[in-house]
Structure 1
């Protein structure tokens, strides 16, 4: 059945209304929404820029003590972990001749043994430095040669770590550091850099420099060979007024924040200090009581990673951010 003119007009009108309604309904969902903003207040916190490295606990100076002659250990006077002074007797030993003589005297009675012990004195093994006994390598009755290490002393336990060539220029002797051990990860140990090697070595095709960090005070639980994590502090600001890095923008080399002023945000310049990649120090420009607009925490925009991070990929980065 063919439609008359009136029917055609009605059908066309229905189609037009349907299309218009579809466009009206769809249009709000096609509008690209901007980032959601929230008001935040500056906070007081400590900010630091660090160079992180992994290392191992080892003696600063590791000294093996060997007997002056071959013979037999008669008595050991120290244990591992004992702190000894220079000149302290660590053990008494007999030369091979004295040991043979005493063994023969024992067959003749205890009085004969005491007689020869008075005539033929034992040899002392003496500590040549102040330090800690980290290895007790012999026991009474053990035969040792002149090349055997009967004790190992350490004057101090330190952290040996490696810094690659891109960071070594930022590390200076005397810089503060924070040490944690894998075995005691909840304990932070303050220390400082005391030596940086002058010669590099290559690891995984990267030139590295051995860097030594010493604790301000060596804890009792330190043991040679433990794995350590070291944060060398390049810069720090205690009790700094701070904002999240995504709240501070840079344009033409000038740092600024956005504050609420009526219905529209208002730009306000600030002077920044160091930042650790999460928070940035605010030296001047705003106070702790001024609210600042920042991208809402957890906001992400499709196909716009730079905006989800709160920064523009075309804006310069602030100097001093953590590596």
Structure 2
């Protein structure tokens, strides 16, 4: 009997100890200090980005317009030729095939004495010195892209090297896939240097820029209806309080937003505090989110664009 009594007491003691340990291990809610940011002057850039691959600006199959007999082939495979240079002549004395642009003979499928027809490709000419890339741009951003805008290009093969280019063409028709329409934008590269046809690249087109303007991190600006505001900390005798201050905004990208009215350079505003997930959801309820999405999943009027993919005047 005493044995069973002792066992019972031990079991109860272990249970109590386990409960106390569990309570001690109960996760405690931690409160992070609210970060702040100062209103600064700077340059705000809005960019539209996309990926593509390197291709030649000029690449062309060379053919005849009627049946002819080849008199002489004046070039060899991989020869570099100049625009207007004579490449192939014919026995009937008709116009010879000449190079439509400077480049390299990358295919040659004809010999002296051959009879060629209009369906036959006799040679191929590629210009490796003039290169371009074609990227796909979302329909929501393509209206911001204009011919002549500058672009920054990074090749996966040369991540530390910067290339530049200009927009030279924007497709008039888009491609619809998975509920989204995209448009092809052609960027001609200024100095291809070590780039080769077929290399993959990322291109970023500068579509809008504003210098010497007031800037804040985009998460500092909250929205309620059509109004936008920030929280400005105020030091009191006993504690620091916050004042809600209405602002007007202008250009924005994913990281920063322009302040056009309501704040001055150097003013300090609060940023959202980093806390537990449940608290964060409540604190972010009226924050601007990238892509115009509210934290709850709905669309927010006049929302922010993605990083390097556009901005909007607000």
TM over 0.5: yes
Task: Please tell me whether residue 186 in structure 1 is matched to residue 160 in structure 2.
Answer: yes
Which residue of the partner structure matches residue 55 of structure 2?
Answer: 58
| Paired residues of 2:70 and 2:114 also in contact (CA < 8 A) | yes
Q: Which runs of 5+ in 2 are unaligned?
A: 1-19, 288-294, 310-314
Within the candidate set 214, 219, 226, 1:246 is matched to 219
1:73-120, Cα deviation, whole Å (9 max, x unpaired): 46549745x7x3x3234x57797xxxxxxxxxxxxxxxxxxxxxxxxx
Give the CA deviation at 1:53.
1.7
| Paired residues of 1:177 and 1:213 also in contact (CA < 8 A) | yes
* CA RMSD between the two structures: 4.1
Larger radius of gyration: 1
Within the candidate set 98, 104, 108, 1:126 is matched to 98
TM-score for the superposition, normalised by structure 2: 0.64
- Equivalent residue runs for 1:226-237 within 5 Å: 226-237=199-210
Take 1:236 and 1:136, find their aligned partners in 2: how far apart are those partners?
42
Within the candidate set 96, 99, 106, 1:136 is matched to 106
Take 1:200 and 1:39, find their aligned partners in 2: how far apart are those partners?
43
Which residue of the partner structure matches residue 222 of structure 1?
Answer: 195
Task: Please tell me whether residue 163 in structure 1 is matched to residue 134 in structure 2.
Answer: no
Change (3 A) 1:205 1:273: closer
Take 2:281 and 2:71, find their aligned partners in 1: how far apart are those partners?
74
Give the CA deviation at 1:187.
3.0
| Paired residues of 2:85 and 2:99 also in contact (CA < 8 A) | yes
Change (3 A) 1:171 1:74: closer
Change (3 A) 1:228 1:210: same
Q: Which runs of 5+ in 1 are unaligned?
A: 1-21, 96-122
Higher helix share: 1
Question: Does 195-204 or 255-264 show the bigger shift?
Answer: 195-204
Which residue of the partner structure matches residue 211 of structure 1?
Answer: 185
Which residue of the partner structure matches residue 39 of structure 2?
Answer: 42
Take 1:55 and 1:175, find their aligned partners in 2: how far apart are those partners?
17
